[in-house]
Structures are given as structure tokens and as C-alpha cells.
Amino acid sequence: MTTLSDPQQGSFRLSMLLNDTRYRSYTFQFVALLLLIALMAFLGINLMRNLAEAGLNISYGFLGVPAGYDINQSLIDYSSQDSNLRAAMVGIINTLLVAFLACVTATILGVLAGVARLSKNWLVSKLMAVYVEIFRNIPVLIWILMIYTLMTAVLPSPSAFRGDDPASSMFLGAFAFTNRGVYIPWPVWGPGSMFVVATFVLSIIAAIAYRRYAVKLLFDTGKLLPRAWPTAAILILPTLLAFFILGRPVSLDYPALAGFNFGGGLQIGAPLIALWLALSVYTGAFIAENVRAGIQAISRGQTEAASSLGLRPKRVMNLVVLPQALRVIIPPLISQYLNITKNSSLAIAVGYADITATLGGITLNQTGRAIECVLLLMLFYLTISLSISAIMNVYNTSVSLKER
């Protein structure tokens, strides 16, 4: 009689790779991996052979060659004599900038619209429904072109602000809305300004800690602490004290008309604004549906129980419904953030110099290194997409339901 301790029973045989269900799936996966590696190797060898026959080779030496073109908006120092690598870095930073701004704005807009769609006010809910249905059913490229066209056609040129007192034509005497973009005041950092910035950062951390403490105290003891005015006080008062104690080290540089354009301050170009707003309102419509689905996934009994405890509707939504709905909202929200990042490649339609416009556009056309540029573009978008997915998955794990 064969027992479990019989060596014949526990010995490994090659036939078990196919006949034993414990190993069969691993065998098929390993064979598929070998076939995939063989296919990629065949394609790579075929590519190198074809390039050699055409007298071409893969080289990234063009990245060190002067770019020879200007970029209209850059967050770092750049000139046409800088290298193609520097131009690509400008494009990467511009891509990350518009993606970050659009993700933040689309999230805020989507949450507000999603909650408003479930409002008991008939007019509000229908208006949000119209917004969602219109914006998500028209391609984002059309919204980009429409917003850019409206900005350049409706807003005045900088020359329209000429006069004895140009500041009087500006909004609040500090903001200029033109067909070239929006000009806003920009801080000038003096000695000691970093201490003010550090105080503000610490104030943000303290405000977040206070709000978490207030929520924990409410769940543990039922004691409700005020959150609005303490949060505002924590954010503002320490920074103001540091600002005045250090002798006002931070000042503002206001835009002023100089020649045919504005000088000073910060210019937010029309292409950036058009791309930012279009991505925000378009993706916000999708996020609104995700939020609505997440809220509706929560049992009505949760809302009724919270209301029976005397909580106001706003607190019921903030403290009971939304925290539970996040488990449903976050997974599709990750996909929307990825869509924003990838849709930012449409920036070339309005002349915004993102990575697709610099490395995948001008640099590619000037150098003729199509394979190298496309491979670098693929690597960038793959890296940033995986990074966003990893960060959001960590957050998703933190809000997911913990089983006992």
C-alpha cells in the first residue's frame, strides 16, 4: 500500500510538468515566455539587419547636438543653442506640468459634478447631467481647439491695454487676460523667504494632521470638533507671522506693458490654458460618473443611519458616504489619470511644447532619428504611466476594506 511518505509518491518526474495540475500552468507560462522572447529576438535581429542594409544604425548621439529651435514656454532655462536632450527635458517638464494641473482640476470638477448629479435639486442634477453627456461624448481634441480658438479670437491683444494707465484696464490692476495668454503676479524670493515657505509646508502638514485627528476623535468618541476655521487658522496664521517677523521677504512682481507685450510677472500661455481646461472638463465628466457610481454603490441604510444620529447632509457625505465610495471610485480614477497623461500628447495641435512636440516632433524631423525618438517617447509614457499607477494603487490599498 502506498503511503504519503513513500519516496515513489513524492519524487518529481518530467511527465508531471504536463500531467500534474500543480505544475501544468507554470509549464505553459514558461513556454509562452520562451516563445515571446524568441519573437522579440527575431524582430530585433530583423530590424538591425534591415537598418544595416539601408546603411543606418541606432544611435543616440543626436541628443548632444544643439537643438536649433526655440520653445515658447519653459520652466527651466533654455535657448536654441542648448542640446536636443535639454529640449526633451523641457518637453518632459511641460508634459508633467499640464498633466498634474489637469489631474487636480479634473478631480475637483468631477467630484463636485458627481455629487451634484445626485442632488435632490432637479435643476442642479439636470445641469450636471447635461455637462457630463455633452463633454464626454465630444472628442477632447475638439475641446482643445475650441477653447484655444475662443481665447485667441475673443480676448484682446496686449496692445489693447495701451493708454495713460494700462493697469486700470487689467483685472484688479494685476491680471491681464490677452489672446497670448494670462499674465499674473509672480513672487520674488528675498533673503529668508525659504523659512516662510517651510512654515507654509509645515502648516499644510499640521492642517492635514488636525483634520485626521478630528475625524478619528469623531469615530472613536462621537465628539465633533470644528474643522473649517481651525484648518484655515493653521494654514494662514503661522505663515503670516513668519512673513512679518522676517521682514516681508516675499514680494510680488506685477505684469506691466512693455513695448508690444507684457513684461514681469508670470505668463501662462494660451496653448497651456487651452490644453489644461480641455483635459480638465473632458476628463472631469468621466470622473463625475465614477463618483456617482461609487456613491450609489453605498447602501442607503448607511445614509439613513448617519442622518438618524443627527448628522447634517454635508457631514454625512464627507464622513460616511465618500470614504466608503472611494473603494469603488479609485480604480477607475487611476485610468482617468493615465488618460489625461496620454491625451496631453495632443498639445501639438495648439503649439504647446510637450515631449511629443519637442522630441517626437521637431527633434525627430530635424535629425531623422525616428526609431530612437519613438523608442524614447514610448519609454517616457510607459514610465510615467507605471509610476502613476503604482502611486494610486498604494493609495487604493490604504482606503480598501481591511478584512479581519
Q: 182 φ, ψ to 5°?
A: -110, 135
pLDDT at residue number 10: 60
pTM for the complete prediction? 0.80
Closest CA to 280 of 220, 337, 199, 198: 337
Annotation: CATH topology of 95-185+254-351: MetI-like fold (1.10.3720)
Q: Is the dihedral of CA 295, 299, 303, 309 positive or negative?
A: negative
Copy the grid coordinates of residue 317: 457625505
What single DSSP character describes residue 250? E
| 2: confidence class by pLDDT, cuts 50, 70, 90 | very low
Question: For residue range 188-242, what is the model confidence (pLDDT) as tens digits?
Answer: 888 888 888 899 999 999 999 988 888 788 777 877 778 888 888 888 898 889 8
pLDDT band at 139 (very low <50, low <70, confident <90, very high): very high
Dig out the grid coordinates for 56 from the structure. Answer: 543606418
For position 166, what pLDDT does the model report? 57
pLDDT at 398 over 50: yes
On the question of pLDDT at 243 being above 80, the answer is: yes
End-to-end CA distance of the chain: 43
Task: Give residue 12's pLDDT.
Answer: 67
The helices-and-strands tally (H runs, E runs) of the chain is 15, 7
Overall average pLDDT of the 33-41 stretch: 92
